[in-house]
Amino acid sequence: MQPLLPIVFPAGRIVDPRIQAAADRHRLECVDGDRFDETYDFMAACFGPLGEIEPREVLRAEIETPRFHGQVGIDYQLVRVVDLEGELVAVIDGRYAFGPDLILGLGSNITTDPARRGDGVGAAVDLSTRLPFLARSAARLGRSPDLPCVIVADLDPYDPDVPESLARMRLWGRCGWTVIPPAALPFALLGQADPDRPGELLGPTPNLLMARGPEATRLTSLPRSVLRSMVDLLAAVSHGHAPAHEVEGWATHARSAVDRWPDHDVALLPLPGRDPTPEVLAAVGREALLDASDRQAVAGLTP
C-alpha cells in the first residue's frame, strides 16, 4: 500500500472555498497491485458502458511495469481519492510519456462516486499539482522531470442534447483547460474496450483534446513543433493497447494536419463560460470534429 498524500494546489493559486474544503477532507493514494482490481471496477462502472476505458489486463500490466516504445518512456498511474475514514470516493488515472524534448501528461478519467458529485472533490483533484506524480514517473522510468511538460485530456464535444455537456465544459474551463483546435491536431481515442463485445476493441473515436500546464496553468497557444512532438508521444502510448495500423493511420493523419497549420503558434480554444456565444460552442461542438473522410483516414483505411 502506498502512503496517503494531501491534495495540494500549485503555489499562489486561489481556489473556491468549497474546493479547498473538499481537498482538506480527502487524500490521494497511488495504486499498486494490491488495490488494482477494486479501483479498476470503480472506474469501469462509470466508463465501461461508454467504451471509454482500456482493458483490465492492459492497465494491470502497466501498473506493474513501466514500458518503453523506442525512445519514449511511458508510466501509467492510477490514483485513489479517499476520505478521512479511508473510503474510496473517486479515482483519477493517466500516463506520463517522456520523449526526447517533451513530457506529455495524459489525464484520462476522473471517476467520482455519484453520491459525492457536486461537492468539489473532482475539481480539487483536477486542480491539484501534478508535480509529485510527474516526479514519481520520472523515477520509475529513470528519466529527468525537467523537460517542458504539457498535460492533455480528452473531452467529449459539446452536445446540446446532453444536459450535463455544457456544465462539464464550464467546470473544466474554470480549472484552466483550453482546447487544441481539431483542425490543427485531429485527436482520436484508440484501443478502447468495446462495451457491447467483451474482449473486442472499438475503432478510432474522434474527440476533443484539452491542454494545460503541469501546475494547472492555462495555456493560450502552443508552438506547432510541440504539437508534432505530442503526436509522436500519443502514438507511442497508443501502441501499447491499440492495433498498429490504427495508430500509424491516426499518427500520419495528425502529423499532416499539424504540418499544414499556417501559423508557427497554434491558438487554443476557450471552453464555454457562463454565457457562451454560438461561435464558442460551435468551435468545441461535434461539427468541429472530423468528417466522414477524415474518420476513414484516422482508421488507416485511406491514404
Q: State pLDDT tens for residues 186-244.
A: 998 887 766 677 777 777 888 999 999 988 889 999 999 999 999 999 999 999 778 89
The closest alpha carbon to 180, from 238, 147, 220, 215, belongs to 220
Tens digit of pLDDT for each residue in 240-289?
Answer: 778 898 999 999 999 999 999 999 999 999 999 888 999 999 999 988 87
Domain count of the fold of the chain:
1
Distance CA 299, CA 303 (A): 10
Place of cell 523515477: 139
Any domain includes 225 = yes
What's the CATH code of the domain at 42?
3.40.630.30
Instruction: Give residue 294's Cα distance to chain centre.
Output: 22
Distance CA 248, CA 265 (A): 25
Range of the domain at 47: 5-298
Taking the CA atoms of 44, 85, 215 and 79 in sequence, report the sign of the dihedral they define. Answer: negative
**Concatenated DSSP letters of 11-52:** TT----HHHHHHHHTEEEEE--GGGHHHHHHHHHHHHGGGT-
The closest alpha carbon to 2, from 47, 26, 35, belongs to 35
Distance CA 167, CA 271 (A): 11
The number of beta carbons lying within 10 Å of the beta carbon of residue 81 is 26
Q: Average of pLDDT values for 145-164?
A: 92
Please determine, for residue 300, whether its predicted confidence score (pLDDT) is greater than 80: no
Sequence-ordered list of residues with C-beta below 8 angstroms from that of 56, at least 6 positions apart, any chain: 37, 40, 44
Distance CA 296, CA 298 (A): 5
Any domain includes 191 = yes
The closest alpha carbon to 58, from 186, 238, 211, 179, belongs to 238
Please determine, for residue 23, whether its predicted confidence score (pLDDT) is greater than 70: yes
Please determine, for residue 302, whether its predicted confidence score (pLDDT) is greater than 50: no
Distance CA 267, CA 221 (A): 4
Any domain includes 163 = yes
Calculate what percentage of the chain has a pLDDT beyond 90.
Answer: 51
**Concatenated DSSP letters of 163-209:** HHHHHHHHHHHHTT-EEE-TTTS--EE-SPBPTTSTT-B---EE-EE
Please tell me the pTM assigned to this model.
0.87
Q: Which of 53-57, 146-150, 222-226 has the lowest mean pLDDT?
A: 53-57
Tens digit of pLDDT for each residue in 67-110?
Answer: 999 999 999 999 999 999 999 999 988 899 999 999 999 986 78
* pLDDT for 261: 95
The closest alpha carbon to 1, from 80, 56, 90, belongs to 80
Q: Sort 5 into a burial class: Cβ within 10 Å, 0-12 / 13-18 / 19+.
A: middle
Any domain includes 303 = no
